[in-house]
Amino acid sequence: MKIKETFLKLFFQKVLEIYKILDNIINSERVIVKLNAYIANINRLLKEVKSNISADYICSNSKEIIIITNKIAITLDQNIIEKYMKKLNEINTVNLY
């Protein structure tokens, strides 16, 4: 009987762990989708000025946002990306109030 009780206890613990992992994956997918929209907008702006670079990936932490591009960005490209990100920051700040 002890083996059965131990097995059931371990089984339910594993099920809970799996649900937690799935919940984290679902939440991270929402973030990825949102970041993909930002990448698409950045690439649209770069294409408008006939830039040769494109944004491939965005990641962030508490201190900075990192945008990975397919090539080294020149100052014009960096300015376009920076203006877009500042504009997003202003919009988010307004939405907080």
- Strand pairing category for 65-69 and 55-60: antiparallel
Q: What is the mean pLDDT of residues 41-59?
A: 90
Q: What is the mean pLDDT of residues 30-42?
A: 77
Assess whether pLDDT exceeds 60 at residue 92. no
* Geometric angle at alpha carbon 17, from 13 and 23, rounded to 5°: 145
Stated length of the chain: 97
Separation between Cα atoms, residue 65 and residue 61, nearest integer Å: 7
Whole-prediction pTM value?
0.59
Answer for the pair 9, 25: CB distance below 8 angstroms, yes or no: no
